[in-house]
Amino acid sequence: MTKYVINGGNPLHGEIEISGAKNAAVAIIPAALMVDGVCRIENLPEISDVKTLLSILKEMGAKIRVVDKRTLDIDCTRVGTTHATFDMMRRIRASYYLIGSLLGRFGRADVAMPGGCNFGGVRPIDQHIKGFTAMGANVSVRNGIVTAVTGDTLRGVTIYLDVVSVGATINLMLGAALAQGRTVIENAAREPHIVDLANFLNSMGADIRGAGTNEIRVRGVKRMSGGFYSIIPDQIEAGTYMMAVAGAGGRVVIKDVIPKHLESISVKLREMGVTVVELEDSVIVQRDAPLLKTHVKTMPYPGFPTDMQPQISTVLCLAEGTSTITEGVWDNRFKYVDELVKMGAQIRVNGRSAIIEGVPYLSGAPIKASDLRAGAALVIAGLSARGRTVIDGVNYIERGYEKMISKLSDVGADIKGLSEREDQRYNRKMG
Ligand code: EPZ
């Protein structure tokens, strides 16, 4: 699809099933490279980032068998090369996990510097490099290619991360799984997908403890062998649909979730006057009263996730009073604000903060997604607005949300995707 067209104003009613977590899947697929034998991975989301990673593995010689639409058998036993096409690697951020998995298995990695979402600021990987260097690798970055080489295998050490980094925690955990000796990652990130990756590696024979706390201890093993694993539900996909109900109104059961992972989001929604009821593996979200202002600061887990910041900001545009947002993870994640302003939002950005004056309604407009979560936020804006919104740049959304159009249509949204040809026809019709 190239564009989404949304006629806003329909409240949402029904059920939405949540897919497997993107950010767990993009770590677990590279992890499969380190395993001898077949990894059966269930609950993989059907999104373009997953497809790209699978193509990279295939190119390296992995055997991939589709068991059903969400389950794959990945066998990397015969992978003999550490190379894949750099262009493909550049398409996604998570290609940097190949540094940890290739170094761990082959003692060498040549990986193109990560691409993926660009929400304005720099996205450094100095903490990954610092960790691998401490483990005995020689790491250089030249012409956008990271080359990491170690004499024999990585050596276990204690690494203190200067910033709480999800990517560095995951990458170093991957490298440490097959390293010689014991690695301790201090000041580690605690996101649910870090625990998921540790569980995956442990179920393949690794020895990792402490994932989910800020100190992860890994005892390197000689080899890991195949097994079964089912990926956790996507916390951010669930949170996005929870915000969509808050913005558009209605009552939706968000199914197949782990409510504990959604706590920081549920708490904020309740402060905004939205009802959230937690059941065993679902949450009910209902909004039938005016939205109330609140104040949000994004933080590493278990704080409010930065990946939900554009979505909650969008909903707060419709809340009575003045709300504030402080971005506590990234230097700059407010590129989408200009698009919301085109729809009538009143937002002022000042460095890492945004001040939102609630308005009674947003108006549909032609707008453009600049990254994955910004794109999701614009969909919420379109669903909540009066009139028609046309969103360009939806390839970002499709990197991380499985079947967003059908999930939203099923609960009553008026949203459709336009292919390139349909888009040209639509433009001719609109003059
Ligand atoms: C992961 O990115 C996610 N991506 C991001 O989600 C998410 O926003 C982010 O974690 C924070 O939760 C994936 O999982 C693929 P970080 P990552 O390393 O690992 C600084 C989405 O929308 N930092 O935790 O790249 C960095 O600048 C995506 O799904 C360093 O200084 O993020 C940032 O300020 C977008 N040096 C902070 O740490 C480093 O070496 C957190 O970054 C690494 C990071």
Beta bridge pairs of residue 354: 325, 349
Cα separation, 315 vs 311, whole angstroms: 7
What separation in Å is there between the alpha carbon of 273 and the centre of ligand 1? 31
- For residue 22, the ligand 1 atom closest to its alpha carbon is 29
Amino acid at 355: I
Beta bridge pairs of residue 391: 4, 367
User: Environment class of residue 55 by beta-carbon count within 10 Å: exposed (0-12), middle (13-18) or buried (19+)?
Assistant: middle
- For residue 116, the ligand 1 atom closest to its alpha carbon is 35
Cα separation, 255 vs 162, whole angstroms: 37
What separation in Å is there between the alpha carbon of 165 and the centre of ligand 1? 6
Pocket test for ligand 1, best of 53, 306, 329 (most atoms within 8 A of CB): 329
What separation in Å is there between the alpha carbon of 226 and the centre of ligand 1? 29
User: Environment class of residue 261 by beta-carbon count within 10 Å: exposed (0-12), middle (13-18) or buried (19+)?
Assistant: buried
Atom 27 of ligand 1, residue of closest alpha carbon: 123
Pocket test for ligand 1, best of 117, 119, 122, 123 (most atoms within 8 A of CB): 123
The catalytic position among 39, 76, 117, 317 is 117
- State residue 119's pLDDT score: 55
Strands 353-357 and 346-350: antiparallel
Pocket test for ligand 1, best of 53, 166, 306, 307 (most atoms within 8 A of CB): 166
Contact 92, 399 (CB under 8 A): yes
- For residue 373, the ligand 1 atom closest to its alpha carbon is 22
Beta bridge pairs of residue 233: 20
Contact 373, 307 (CB under 8 A): yes
Cα separation, 24 vs 45, whole angstroms: 10
Atom 28 of ligand 1, residue of closest alpha carbon: 307
pLDDT tens for 352-361 read: 999 999 999 9
Atom 44 of ligand 1, residue of closest alpha carbon: 165
CA proximity to 185, closest of 154, 203, 159: 159
What separation in Å is there between the alpha carbon of 93 and the centre of ligand 1? 9
Pocket, ligand 1, Cβ cutoff 6 A: 23, 26, 93-94, 117, 123-128, 163, 165-168, 189, 306-307, 329-330, 372-373, 400
pLDDT tens-place values along the chain, 431 residues long: 899 999 999 999 999 999 999 999 999 999 999 999 999 999 999 999 999 999 999 999 999 999 999 999 999 999 988 777 888 888 888 889 999 999 999 999 999 876 545 555 567 899 999 999 999 999 998 888 899 999 889 999 999 999 999 999 999 999 999 999 999 999 999 999 999 999 999 999 999 999 999 999 999 999 999 999 999 999 999 999 999 999 999 999 999 999 999 999 999 999 999 999 999 999 999 998 999 999 999 999 999 999 999 999 999 999 999 999 999 999 889 999 999 999 999 999 999 999 999 999 999 999 999 999 999 999 999 999 999 999 999 999 999 999 999 999 999 999 999 988 888 887 777 76
% residues pLDDT > 90 (the chain): 87
CA–CA distance from 17 to each of 6, 246, 256, 269, 328 (Å)?
A: 21, 17, 6, 20, 30
- Tell if the pTM clears 0.85, that is, is over it: yes
Residue with tokens 């992860």: 216
What separation in Å is there between the alpha carbon of 217 and the centre of ligand 1? 21
Contact 355, 379 (CB under 8 A): no
Active site residue 117: yes
Cα separation, 34 vs 305, whole angstroms: 30
Structure tokens at 383: 């669903």
Contact 221, 52 (CB under 8 A): no
What separation in Å is there between the alpha carbon of 105 and the centre of ligand 1? 24
